[in-house]
Amino acid sequence: MRPLRFAIIGAGMAGILSAIKLAEAGFTDFTIYEKGDRFGGTWRENTYPGLSCDVPSQLYCYSFAPNPEWSHVFSPGQEIRTYFEVVAREFGIEKSTRFDDEVVSCEFSDGKWHLETHKGHRDEVDVVIAATGVLHQPKFPDIDGIDTFEGACFHSARWDHSVNLGGARVGIIGTGSTAVQITSALVERVAHLSLFQRTAQWIMPQQNPEFTEEQKEQFRAHPEQLEQMHDSLSILFGGFAKAVIDAQSSEIQMIEDACRTNLEENVHDPVLRERLRPDYRAACKRLIISPDFYDAIQQPNADLVTSGIERMESGGVRTEDGVLHELDVLVLATGFKVDAFMRPMTVVGRDGLTLNEEWAERPNAYLSISIPDFPNFFMLNGPNGPVGNFSLIDVAEQQFAYIMQLIDLLRSGENREVSATHVAMDTFEAERVGAARKTIWTTGCSSWYLDDRGVPAVWPFPFDRFRSEMASPQLESYDVR
Ligand code: NAP
């Protein structure tokens, strides 16, 4: 057996998972590098009011660490962050983590990855696991005069908790999952709420009941029930995956019907109803799940603003119809740079090839995991993977089990370098693009799923195919040296 040293980049869900699984496989020589000051990844960065997960709690947790204590069917963000911290502590991951130490460069030479952090710390490892997340780098809107605004202005993923919202006039730009959650949470706390909508969204109504003390007691006494719930929810979500990849499926029709009924029955003013009605099919954009958004936007202190934003002024937002929407606080719920992945970190693979060169057109990787000529560098939740309305934990667990089989090739001592071949990546990508063009995501809307060609940059096959691909690597798809 050859001893291997690992760097895991990121101490969010996927980084914690990687450390636990490496330790379980008998590896002890690994470090997690984390730019933040605590565990939790996206759940550390997003702390906005109303933050919760729209994947059910029993699925949005590690299969090996079921949690009987979830308060709700869909967990609040704070609880999820605490869950990751508790799991990391229980599995002894803290001692292997360097917080506040961002990896700025990662270069492959002489069979090793050479890392450098912003503090100047250097490391030399055999394998890099990039667990850097997907929706990670905030996207700021390019609005004239944004710097002239005299109130507080921040991105939803950089919530400024020092700002007092009680009695404030608050504007929110965006109508994605984030803006919808913030709207529902804030409307009763603020004096006035203006929601700046560029594109209307379909809303799937979904209640979020609390688990009773009796239910939690039952879960504590019978942890196997949690496992069963995890597995059956995973199958249920596989069914959702089938619906979105076939724009003609009866399942997608049912989702559309539920969203339309929600709009017809729960928005009472016919004018407002039409302003909230999307002109594209449900689930074309990432489906939004909310039990109370329509209720919130119909409150007397809430305004849906559909005139385009012209500019910002010291007192608020001026829209194209000439109206000045006076604000004390403006929240930019404008999403993320979805093609960044581990960048801005510099990554240099074999023979000086940089990641920016390799991804000059757009990010790509064989099965989202491995990039040709970047040996022993593996990504969790990398490009074109199953994101959106899935449990990314379920996804990452399967990906890591696959990566572990590649690591075993190195561990055996027979091989020093493993990365996907160009042929395997290109063949897979051609098939993926063909399938992606048939999905609901291409039926006439813009969304963060779409790449520069308008092709959804996500997994377009049934989830079962993902499972079977992840079961074991096809070694002919790898350049093993
Ligand atoms: P998003 O879905 O990308 O939405 C961004 C919103 O900002 C869109 O409504 C967009 O309008 C608007 N926008 C962007 N730039 C604008 C501009 N210059 N002027 C006006 N409007 C502008 O971002 P997100 O809501 O943060 O959600 C991102 C993803 O995070 C979700 O799709 C989901 O996968 C994940 N998420 C999950 C949960 C959960 O519960 N699991 C919760 C929150 C987020 P257009 O639609 O017109 O482009």
Residue with more model confidence, 244 or 50: 50
Q: Which long-range contacts (CB under 8 A, 24 or more apart) does 261-264 make?
A: 262/203, 262/204, 262/205, 262/294, 263/202, 263/203, 263/294
Cα of 428 vs centre of ligand 1, distance in Å, is: 29
pLDDT given for residue 388 in this prediction? 66
* DSSP classification of residue 370: B
List, for residues 332-350, the tens digit of each pLDDT value. Answer: 999 999 999 999 999 999 9
Cα of 447 vs centre of ligand 1, distance in Å, is: 8
How many Cβ atoms are within 10 Å of 403's Cβ, its own excluded?
22
Mean pLDDT of the chain: 96
Mean pLDDT of 372-388: 94
Q: Tokens 């995501």 — which residue?
A: 441
The rounded percent of the chain whose pLDDT value lies above 90 is: 92
How many residues belong to the chain? 481
Amino acid occupying residue 68? P
pLDDT given for residue 234 in this prediction? 87
313, pLDDT greater than 80 = yes
Q: Tell me the pLDDT band of 389, cut-offs 50, 70 and 90.
A: low
245, pLDDT greater than 90 = no
Q: What share of the chain is helix, strand, coil (3-state, %, to 5)?
A: 35, 20, 45
238, pLDDT greater than 90 = no
Q: Tell me the pLDDT band of 240, cut-offs 50, 70 and 90.
A: confident
The rounded percent of the chain whose pLDDT value lies above 70 is: 100
13, pLDDT greater than 70 = yes
Determine the angle formed by the axes of helices 392-411 and 13-24, rounding to 10 degrees. 40
Q: What is d(CA 229, CA 215) in angstroms, rounded to the nearest whole number?
A: 13
400, pLDDT greater than 80 = yes
Query: Atom 6, ligand 1: which residue's CA is nearest?
Result: 174
Cα of 109 vs centre of ligand 1, distance in Å, is: 39
Q: State whether residue 263 is helix, strand or coil.
A: helix
Our mutation pick for probing the ligand 1 site, out of 80, 173, 395, counting the most ligand atoms within 8 A of Cβ, is 173
Mean pLDDT of 413-426: 97
196, pLDDT greater than 90 = yes
Least confident of 57-66, 73-82, 93-102, 244-253: 244-253
170, pLDDT greater than 90 = yes
Cα of 327 vs centre of ligand 1, distance in Å, is: 21
Strand 324-326 and strand 316-319: the pairing is antiparallel
Mean pLDDT of 202-218: 96
Could you tell me the pTM of the whole model?
A: 0.96
Pair of tokens at residue 261: 């009924």
Closest-lying ligand 1 atom to the alpha carbon of residue 289: 40
Mean pLDDT of 282-304: 96
The two counts, helices (H) then strands (E), for the chain are 13, 21
Amino acid occupying residue 44? R
Q: Which of 77, 103, 136 is nearest to 7 (CA)?
A: 103
Whether 386 lines ligand 1, by a CB cut-off of 6 Å, is: no
Q: Tell me the pLDDT band of 242, cut-offs 50, 70 and 90.
A: confident
Q: What value does the CA radius of gyration of the chain take, rounded to a whole number of Å?
A: 23
Query: Looking at 201-243, which runs of residues are DSSP E strands?
Result: 203-204
Ordered domains of the chain (ranges, CATH):
6-137+337-480 (3.50.50.60), 138-199+290-335 (3.50.50.60)
